[in-house]
Amino acid sequence: MIRVTVAARSSVVRAGLESVVRSSSSLHLAGALDWSLLPVADLEADVLLFDAGDGPLDGMQAMIGQKPAVMLLDSADPLRVSAALRAGARAVISREASPEEIEAAVQAVHVGLVVLSAGSLPDLASIARPAAEALAEPLSDRELEVLNLIAEGQSNKLIAHALGISEHTVKTHVASIFVKLGAASRTEAVSQAIRRGLVML
């Protein structure tokens, strides 16, 4: 089961998210807290379910740390979605999301995927596109193909099969992608790519 810590300033929202986690057969409630009072980055949990609401996102990166986080926002405003991604969120969904959507987002980030609300994608792409052009060395067409397959959760072996190349060649492309995006992991590479408008899920 996926251990989930719920973090929300509102006790009402916190109770609602706790109920969502408890009602799921694949999730386990590891804890719940008011993130405005207690740090959350070092908690023992697999995924952080974080309700940011309409609050400021400045400083969230230090709070979240490297913990896979599903962030709930009050709107799909592309500027806030972009800020949430910069803060380290791997999934950004609406506070109005159904229990099934929340559970799916938690499961997705737990396996290294990135989740965004479909409504935010077109505007988010227009915001992120200038950053893509700012790469010191752009990704090649082949590297973009590999990156998109990574974003789909494909292993090196499956990517090699899909593209008709060797697994060693895939590893070389992955290493190059990491360097160009300044990423240390596949998850970070996908997050960076989404922020830069290189990948849309």
User: What residue spans define the domains of the chain?
Assistant: 2-117, 135-195
Q: Where are the alpha helices (DSSP H) in 118-184?
A: 121-133, 141-151, 156-163, 167-181
Mean pLDDT of the chain: 81
More confidently predicted of 66 and 12: 12
The C-alpha atoms of residue 35 and residue 40 are separated, in whole angstroms, by 7
What digits encode the pLDDT tens for the residues 78-109?
A: 777 777 777 778 888 888 889 999 999 999 88
C-alpha distances out from residue 92 to 49, 119, 174, Å? 10, 11, 25
Output phi, psi for 196, to 5 deg.
-90, 0
* 199 pLDDT higher than 90: no
What digits encode the pLDDT tens for the residues 30-76?
A: 988 887 776 665 567 899 898 887 766 766 666 666 678 898 888 76
| Among candidate residues 116, 126, 137, the one with its CA nearest the CA of residue 191 | 116
Q: In DSSP terms, which residues pair with 27 in a beta bridge?
A: 2
SS3 105: helix
| Among candidate residues 22, 29, 39, the one with its CA nearest the CA of residue 4 | 29
Q: In DSSP terms, which residues pair with 2 in a beta bridge?
A: 27
User: What pLDDT score was predicted for residue 176?
Assistant: 93
More confidently predicted of 5 and 67: 5
The C-alpha atoms of residue 147 and residue 193 are separated, in whole angstroms, by 8
The structural architecture, per CATH, of the domain 135-195 is: Orthogonal Bundle (1.10)
Strand 69-73's sheet: what is its strand order? 27-33, 2-8, 47-53, 69-73, 91-94, 115-116
Any idea which fold 2-117 has?
A: Rossmann fold (3.40.50)
3-state percent helix, strand, coil for the chain, nearest multiple of 5: 50, 15, 35
Task: Pull the structure tokens for residue 197.
Answer: 């408008």
Under a CB-based contact definition with an 8 Å cutoff, are residues 58 and 34 in contact? no
User: What pLDDT score was predicted for residue 165?
Assistant: 93
User: What pLDDT score was predicted for residue 194?
Assistant: 77
Query: Which residue's entry shows tokens 């082949």?
Result: 142
| Residue 131: band (very low, low, confident or very high) from pLDDT cuts 50, 70, 90 | very low
SS3 43: coil
